Chains A and B, each alone.
Chain A
């Protein structure tokens, strides 16, 4: 085995305090990038959670709808027009909107109403842990997520509150349906959702289309667009992309997350560069000796890059370990940090690139080494 690795590792470990400082710098840098990119992924997922759980091949929505939470409405006639089109098996109306949840003990809290027809489905609550979907048919019945119990002032099934002056009762409880805003989702029937949000009886926010068995989704969409006026018809994937695009880039949140990640990279690069540079200065006699005994420039560059890569791998492993703890700690929060195998590989690649780029200053320094200096030191 070449001595390059041995030289590099011993150069690094020669000053252990500096090495520890370097690794800590890399860990924090990569952790910052992990959190930012993990938040980006988590944000991207959570803003489309409703779209992901809807049973729809196509979404009919008011033109220019930017995201699921956009509360513009369509006329019920559109639904019947859609149902008359060849290949459309179902067009389930969904009504959404903001409302005020009045707590029995006093006080109000904003909630986001999601209403669907219980028979047709569309967008019904999932991950039920108490109660049942059928129970939502009971007058005033709603489903809420247990993570919002405190905020909504309820303790579970049977708890009462008021929305828009109408009494509601918790009849089903879900787990893990969290909003990335602070506004809890409240699921109920279509009619009740209209009543809670002040939506007219002949209006709905979306019509969720299921195509007939054997029908081609793209062809059905084409016919829907041709026959319906003043609507957008999107596949679930397109609506997901549009929602993500709006929340991540329309609001600037995505840019902020990327800027944070970039900042982490810059900080990490500077820390590693500074360490490698000072380490190279400390070992300048050794590099001059290498040059004097005939080593090529590439051999010396390999030693320095090997130092950078060793720092990168150790720093990355520690950062990944801490990152997994952070991911676990945020799993049940409104905005979980997501770590995927792809993101892990991207982070490893970024760490390696960051450390190799950091080696440039040190390499430039050794390129100026005059081997004759070994006679004077």
Chain B
């Protein structure tokens, strides 16, 4: 088994303050490995997005350890975490979050531009990434000129153009119809075939299970199931006590 690209160990996360404080994660451990597409599933409020945010170095855990390519992120400030994100993580969002005033190429280039890569090579890399997602012919189109599925493809191109260690996708098919959703999942599955890169997809929709190499279930801040391949684990283990 390959080295985890991102790993969280015994992560606890409290959100909010005072009386409104809630424990979003209750001691979660998860290792995201290269070469596999992991589905993170669970009901609303189960902690999926919080876990995704911690895996993606957008949030820091209250307790526990996050390792990016084997290196702990402990003590990293906002700028150091941003550096980790731009070097190791590609994000795909439910509502795409493309820049409406930039072309598809420029939207993809942005992920390189924030790294300081702004030469002609960066334009070439952006074009290559668009070709990978099947949008070479739409490189000069603005987001509003693209369909939802095409916009999500541009977002995926943006996520992969920097050759990240992990691609984290937050419900990437939620805003798409079934056909486009399947196409996006097929694309993400294809991207996950690269053994140097892990892909984690947060999802609700059970119809996309077939694209997953691994399915992780989270409920009430605890991982309650972790299955690989076609065989579901017989004993879905839990990291912590789930309230009945």
Binds A, one of B29-37, B94-102, B146-154: B94-102
Q: Contact: A3 with B101, CB < 8 Å?
A: no
Interface status of A226 (Cβ within 8 A of chain B): no
Contact partner of A372 among B59, B90, B94, B158, CB < 8 A?
B59
Contact partner of B102 among A2, A7, A294, CB < 8 A?
A7
Residues of B within 8 Å of A2, CB to CB, are 113, 118
Residues of A within 8 Å of B97, CB to CB, are 285-286, 289, 292, 374
Q: Contact: B79 with A374, CB < 8 Å?
A: no
Q: With contacts A294-B85, A297-B78 known, is A372 near B58, CB below 8 A?
A: yes
Q: With contacts A6-B102, A295-B82, A296-B82 known, is A375 near B158, CB below 8 A?
A: no
Interface size on B, residues (CB 8 A): 35
Instruction: Give Cα A375–Cα B172 distance, bound, in whole angstroms.
Output: 11
Q: Contact: A295 with B93, CB < 8 Å?
A: no
Q: Contact: B110 with A292, CB < 8 Å?
A: no
Instruction: Give Cα A372–Cα B110 distance, bound, in whole angstroms.
Output: 19
Interface status of A231 (Cβ within 8 A of chain B): no
Contact partner of A293 among B59, B100, B118, B158, CB < 8 A?
B158
Residues of B within 8 Å of A7, CB to CB, are 99, 101-102
Report B10 CB to chain A, min CB distance, Å: 21
Contact partner of B114 among A11, A14, A290, A374, CB < 8 A?
A290
Q: With contacts A7-B101, A372-B59, A375-B52 known, is A294 near B109, CB below 8 A?
A: no
Instruction: Give Cα A372–Cα B183 distance, bound, in whole angstroms.
Output: 26
Residues of B within 8 Å of A291, CB to CB, are 82
Contact partner of A10 among B78, B82, B85, B102, CB < 8 A?
B102
> Which residues 269-310 of A sit at the B interface, judged by CB distance below 8 A?
285-286, 289-297, 299
Report A17 CB to chain B, min CB distance, Å: 16
Q: Identify which of B52, B82, B100 gathers the most chain A CB atoms within 10 Å of its CB.
A: B82
Q: Which residue of A lies closest to B118 (CB)?
A: A2
Instruction: Give Cα A6–Cα B114 distance, bound, in whole angstroms.
Output: 13
> Which residues 49-85 of B sit at the A interface, judged by CB distance below 8 A?
49, 52-53, 56, 58-59, 78-79, 82-85
Report A1 CB to chain B, min CB distance, Å: 6
Residues of B within 8 Å of A1, CB to CB, are 118
Q: With contacts A290-B110, A293-B86, A371-B58 known, is A3 near B118, CB below 8 A?
A: yes
Report B48 CB to chain A, min CB distance, Å: 10
Which secondary structure dominates where chain A touches chain B? helix
Contact partner of A374 among B86, B87, B93, CB < 8 A?
B93
Q: Contact: B87 with A3, CB < 8 Å?
A: no
Q: Which residue of A lies closest to B96 (CB)?
A: A289
Per-position contact with A for B182-222: 1 when CB-CB < 8 Å, else 0?
00000000000000000000000000000000000000000
Residues of B within 8 Å of A294, CB to CB, are 82-87, 89, 111, 114-115
Interface status of A377 (Cβ within 8 A of chain B): yes
Instruction: Give Cα A6–Cα B118 distance, bound, in whole angstroms.
Output: 12
Interface status of B106 (Cβ within 8 A of chain A): yes
Interface status of A4 (Cβ within 8 A of chain B): yes
Residues of B within 8 Å of A286, CB to CB, are 97, 99
Q: With contacts A1-B118, A3-B109, A374-B93 known, is A292 near B85, CB below 8 A?
A: yes
Q: Contact: B58 with A14, CB < 8 Å?
A: no
Instruction: Give Cα A294–Cα B116 distance, bound, in whole angstroms.
Output: 11
Interface status of B7 (Cβ within 8 A of chain A): no
Per-position contact with B for A138-154: 1 when CB-CB < 8 Å, else 0?
00000000000000000
Interface status of B170 (Cβ within 8 A of chain A): yes
Q: Which residue of A lies closest to B88 (CB)?
A: A294
Instruction: Give Cα A128–Cα B199 distance, bound, in whole angstroms.
Output: 88
Q: Contact: B86 with A6, CB < 8 Å?
A: no
Residues of B within 8 Å of A295, CB to CB, are 82, 86, 114
Residues of A within 8 Å of B111, CB to CB, are 293-294
Instruction: Give Cα A119–Cα B86 distance, bound, in whole angstroms.
Output: 84
Instruction: Give Cα A293–Cα B113 distance, bound, in whole angstroms.
Output: 11
Residues of B within 8 Å of A374, CB to CB, are 91, 93, 97
Q: Which residue of A lies closest to B85 (CB)?
A: A294
Q: Identify which of A10, A295, A377 gathers the most chain B CB atoms within 10 Å of its CB.
A: A295
Instruction: Give Cα A189–Cα B30 distance, bound, in whole angstroms.
Output: 103
Residues of B within 8 Å of A6, CB to CB, are 102, 106
Report B156 CB to chain A, min CB distance, Å: 13
Q: Which residue of B lies closest to A377 (CB)?
A: B95
Give me the 6 closest cross-chain CB pairs, A-B, nearest first: A294-B86, A10-B101, A294-B85, A295-B114, A289-B97, A2-B118
Interface residue ranges, B against A (CB under 8 Å): 49, 52-53, 56, 58-59, 78-79, 82-87, 89-91, 93-95, 97, 99-102, 106, 109-111, 113-115, 118, 158, 170
Could you give 18 example pairs across A and B, Cβ below 8 Å?
A3-B113, A3-B118, A6-B106, A11-B101, A289-B97, A292-B56, A292-B93, A293-B86, A294-B84, A295-B82, A297-B79, A299-B114, A371-B58, A371-B82, A372-B49, A374-B91, A375-B49, A375-B93
Extra inter-chain contacts (4) besides given A294-B85, A375-B170, CB under 8 Å = A14-B100, A289-B99, A291-B82, A299-B114
